[in-house]
Structure 1
Amino acid sequence: MGQPAAVRPANTELIALREDAGLSQQDLAEALSMLSDEKFDRPVEITKKTIGRWERGEVEWPQPFYRRLLAEYFGVAVDELGFRRPRPTETPRQRSSGETGELMAILSTPGEQDPQVAKDQADWKRVREQLGGSRRALAVLAEQLYPEYRVPGLENTGVIAHPSWLPPEPIPLHQVVLDRLEDTGEPAITGSERESELVRPLASPTHRYKRYSHAVRDLAPPRLFENRLCFRLLDVDWTRPSEQLRFGSMGFFDAIDTNEAVAHETALHHGRAGADGSYQLGRPSWRRLSFRKHIGDPFDLHRRPVMGAIGTLIIRGGESPSMVLHQRDGASVAGGGRMLHLLPAGIFQPSSVLPDSIANDFSIWRNIQRECAEELLGHAEYDGTGRPINYDSEPFFMLDEAYANGTLRAYLLGLSQDAATLAADILTVVIVVPNVYDQIFGHLVDSNPEGYIPARTVPFERNTISNLRERALMSPGLATAAHRAWQFRSLLLGAGASAPRGQG
């Protein structure tokens, strides 16, 4: 019988360097190839597969030039890349029966985990699963921790909002002014503080995971989980004629390290097993919520990294208005599973890491277009790893044309937060005249990588919205958007076409 293959540990240092830089494996491969060609005049072919083999530990000690490239790119010493020089092979020698027995015991249990680590990780995964199945209930509970930020008419929906985040009425999207800062500085809170220790499981008997996102990656990875470049929300001020929404840059995992960690803490300390074994929530209390206390004011956007997710309520206008909703699969996404959501919805991020794309995609309207193409029409995901989007192609051209001639109108409803995760939603509504809606969205997909589309058209009426809310099916973002859209339905459904639009 052959010897069992040695289990090589993953190169967590290299993975962390890449993810902290907001790069996918493909991004890093392209960057290293470019660096080699431009700086060293030495063309090499580094692929995503190459990076994957380094990170999985399949290649323990790459060629010296590759190690030099990595060190140069990340600005670290070679010995900080996480590679381990292979030890020389021992010359076989005669072993005593005792030594042989010990060796066989080791070989028979390769990679056996420390019992304390195994238990801690199992407990963490259990709470993580409970969090996934109780997100709305946890948001409703956490909402009560912030009485000053509860929104009239949205009580017990899990929504909180600073009064200044909700404008007096919906703002036409072409009037919304965005500003992007290149250098925003580091936030005071990253999620690696002592206050978050209890929600980061043990990685070894002596060390906890440094980042919550790394624990998710290793212990409970969803199907969609990459550390992509995102726009970081820095300021909201509707009173200014310019720079109403200000952004910087961050990685997707930066948000996971705070948002999902604070929600995990809430589930950990408020959940308990009922007499029938079911998961039940206690009364809201700040006691033992050390990380949430450490975060403090959830609307202090400089204290922690806040990623804006753009959620859009699409309404087919006409005499019987209707809308499309989305049910996410909790196994597919890192946050927000098992609830009805806005469709489309997606992180505010560029379609590519190339500089031209970052500039062109810094637009709420462009983000809405991409998410429509992906989530409603089944296009491949514009995940930041490919080439810039050609917005003169379909369906982007058709959407732009409808937006320009007024048969499609877009408004910003305001911003809110999910009280459990403290994640921010940038809420918009798009109203499309029936014949144009049918032309653009006449062939909706039944599902996408994030879940099912449960209905093609849901009536946009008071009874439908009230019923979904009473059945506790709406995510906080959907609850806010539906409430605001219904509140201003006369403005939204009665408005006619106006002057050609710019891009908000």
Structure 2
Amino acid sequence: MLRDVLRLSIRRYADRLGVSPSMVMEWKNRGTSLVPVPETQQILDTALAQCEPHEREAFFAALEAAPGAAPGSAAGALPAGMARLEPAVEVVESQQRWREVRQYLNGNRETLSRAAAELYDPALRISGTPMLMAPAWKAAEPVPLDQVELVWTDDVPEVLVTGSEPEAVATHPLRAPGVRFDRYTLAIRYISAPTLFENRPSYRLTDVNWTPGAGRLTFGLASYFDKVDLCEAVGHEFAAAYMEHQEQGGGDRLAWGGLPLRRLVDDPFDPGLRAVTPAITTLLIRRRRDGSATFLLHWRDPAKVVTAGGLYDAVPAGEFQPGSVMSAQSPQDFDLWRNIVRELNEELLGAPEFDGSGGPLQYERWPLWRTLERARVEGRVRAFAFGVGVDPLTLAVAIPSALVIDDELFDQLFGDIAAENAEGVTVTHWNGQDVRGGIPFTHQNVTQFINNEPMAPPGAACLALAWEHRDLLLSRRTDPSRRPRSRP
């Protein structure tokens, strides 16, 4: 009955309670003949207590109107005090503390990222940013995206660290007295769900290989929540330890001893240890005829997104995922360039996100795709990959890249940039200036964002590497014979 009042599907209701969908289905099938065991009753009582007042009123009204219920008998048919039910104190305190740490994490990601980077070898850091990149994961110079070969494999290694280990218990709040959420994503959904929070297929990176002027990345399949369950829990653990360290008057450096979950990921560059599902973070650079350039940034709204909320980031940026659940293992979507174009459509033009529920996207019938693909062959659009990096705070992986578009083509395609989109806002005003055409790509501005603004580590890495290789990126050399190299 509570599920009906909340208008949730069986799966969404199960996620909210922290139980399996099959259990909810059993409750539905058995109806009033079911007598919950005490633990289940406590879970249901807590869920009801945490509903909004109008939802509880609707529940009691529906209960009283149920067949066989005597008028006014609803409260009497419930456990004593149900009409005024309050969740158990220990549950409230556990979830409140979790919420406080989560808010601190989202409000201080840039500071926390720099502090977390201190745990690792300084040689891994990219040009003054917190982003980490192992030598084997870094391209010697920007690689044209059409020279990055994607290889599909069904032989993915078994995940050794998932975020459900005993070491992760401290990041999982109570959902009932003595019972914790068993996954971080369940806690997010139940306690602090952002606007965008869906589990979708994601490409899982299993091998990285760079050679001069080319690259080879191997992928299998995983899910987005595989990433969140571990990476956001690792970030949460660090934020909680950092808060406590600051409250005790400590400095900015933390020791490994209080980070048991992070210690399980002893090599953040080992794709066989965990499910590495990278995002593609791309710095869009607008190249002008006079040789100057501007770049675009995006501010990620923490109320809308799970990761990198409250930070500036390069635009476009998004998870490397199929555009449809029907094309997960198809070359149709298994393509870095096509993923970038989909993100351009969403973040600059404000188009709805391809949520994966529809059929495969017909790229050849899509005007934006056709125009950009033609321009790429002509050299008016150039895309590059810098390597594969790790955010030190959450250990989330990203593929930093750059997309250079000629000025006239940019105006033609993106003249009316959407100020707001499903993940945040495009930066159109900064430092008292109108920057709808982009922020001037100068050393002063690049340094300002890397050192003095709250930047997501992948976006900061894109800026640093783009500035380092600006002569190559902004040159007008092109090789029209190059074509994408990907195969299933």
Q: TM-score range by the shorter chain?
A: 0.7 to 0.9
Question: Is contact 1:364-1:503 (8 Å) kept?
Answer: no
Residue 308 of structure 2, aligned match among 313, 332, 336: 336
The residue identity in structure 2 corresponding to 1:257 is D
The residue identity in structure 1 corresponding to 2:484 is Q
Match for residue 327 of structure 1? 299
Match for residue 175 of structure 1? 147
Asked if 1:350 corresponds to 2:322, the answer is yes
Separation in 2, partners of 1:467, 1:242: 32
Separation in 1, partners of 2:367, 2:482: 19
The residue identity in structure 2 corresponding to 1:486 is W
SS at match of 2:331: helix
Separation in 2, partners of 1:151, 1:270: 21
The residue identity in structure 2 corresponding to 1:427 is P
**Distance of aligned partners of 1:280 and 1:299 in 2 relative to their CA distance in 1, 3 Å threshold:** same
Asked if 1:435 corresponds to 2:408, the answer is yes
SS at match of 1:314: strand
Question: Is contact 1:272-1:281 (8 Å) kept?
Answer: no
Separation in 1, partners of 2:239, 2:382: 40
**Distance of aligned partners of 1:91 and 1:323 in 2 relative to their CA distance in 1, 3 Å threshold:** closer
Match for residue 256 of structure 2? 286
Residue 109 of structure 1, aligned match among 84, 88, 93: 84
Asked if 1:309 corresponds to 2:293, the answer is no
State the Cα distance separating 1:56 from its structure 2 match: 3.3
State the Cα distance separating 1:500 from its structure 2 match: 3.7
Question: Is contact 1:316-1:431 (8 Å) kept?
Answer: yes
Match for residue 461 of structure 1? 442
Separation in 2, partners of 1:248, 1:356: 10
Deviation sequence 1:304-327 (CA, Å, 0-9, x none):
111110011111112220111101
Separation in 2, partners of 1:211, 1:286: 23
Question: Is contact 1:405-1:500 (8 Å) kept?
Answer: no
Q: Which runs of 4+ in 1 moved over 6 A?
A: 89-93, 240-243
Match for residue 142 of structure 1? 116
**Distance of aligned partners of 1:255 and 1:281 in 2 relative to their CA distance in 1, 3 Å threshold:** farther
Separation in 2, partners of 1:255, 1:109: 39
Match for residue 45 of structure 1? none
Asked if 1:118 corresponds to 2:118, the answer is no
Residue 300 of structure 1, aligned match among 258, 270, 280: 270
Deviation sequence 1:172-222 (CA, Å, 0-9, x none):
111111111124143011110001110011122222111101110111100
Separation in 2, partners of 1:435, 1:294: 50
The residue identity in structure 1 corresponding to 2:216 is Q
SS at match of 1:389: coil
Asked if 1:133 corresponds to 2:107, the answer is yes
Question: Is contact 1:326-1:343 (8 Å) kept?
Answer: yes
Question: Is contact 2:327-2:333 (8 Å) kept?
Answer: no
**Distance of aligned partners of 1:356 and 1:282 in 2 relative to their CA distance in 1, 3 Å threshold:** closer
SS at match of 1:436: helix
SS at match of 1:354: helix
Separation in 1, partners of 2:98, 2:90: 12
Asked if 1:83 corresponds to 2:40, the answer is no
State the Cα distance separating 1:108 from its structure 2 match: 1.9
Match for residue 401 of structure 1? 374
State the Cα distance separating 1:79 from its structure 2 match: 6.5
The residue identity in structure 1 corresponding to 2:424 is G
Give the structure-1-normalised TM-score: 0.79
State the Cα distance separating 1:91 from its structure 2 match: 8.1
Deviation sequence 1:454-490 (CA, Å, 0-9, x none):
1221011111101122313221111111111111111
**Distance of aligned partners of 1:266 and 1:9 in 2 relative to their CA distance in 1, 3 Å threshold:** farther
Question: Is contact 1:228-1:252 (8 Å) kept?
Answer: yes
Separation in 1, partners of 2:442, 2:9: 50
Match for residue 55 of structure 2? none
The residue identity in structure 1 corresponding to 2:280 is I
Separation in 1, partners of 2:190, 2:155: 31
Deviation sequence 1:214-270 (CA, Å, 0-9, x none):
110111100000001000111111149997111111111110111000000000111
Deviation sequence 1:131-178 (CA, Å, 0-9, x none):
000111111001000025532522xx3211111111111111111111
Asked if 1:373 corresponds to 2:345, the answer is yes
Residue 151 of structure 1, aligned match among 125, 128, 148: 125
Asked if 1:383 corresponds to 2:360, the answer is no
Q: Percent identity?
A: 34
Separation in 1, partners of 2:200, 2:467: 34
What is the CA RMSD across the aligned residues, in angstroms?
3.0
**Distance of aligned partners of 1:218 and 1:10 in 2 relative to their CA distance in 1, 3 Å threshold:** farther
Match for residue 163 of structure 2? 191
* Structure 2, unpaired ranges of 5+: 15-19, 34-65, 429-435
* Structure 1, unpaired ranges of 5+: 1-5, 12-48, 58-73, 94-99
**Distance of aligned partners of 1:92 and 1:223 in 2 relative to their CA distance in 1, 3 Å threshold:** closer
Question: Is contact 1:272-1:282 (8 Å) kept?
Answer: no
Deviation sequence 1:355-382 (CA, Å, 0-9, x none):
4774310000000110011111122111
**Distance of aligned partners of 1:241 and 1:486 in 2 relative to their CA distance in 1, 3 Å threshold:** closer
State the Cα distance separating 1:284 from its structure 2 match: 2.0
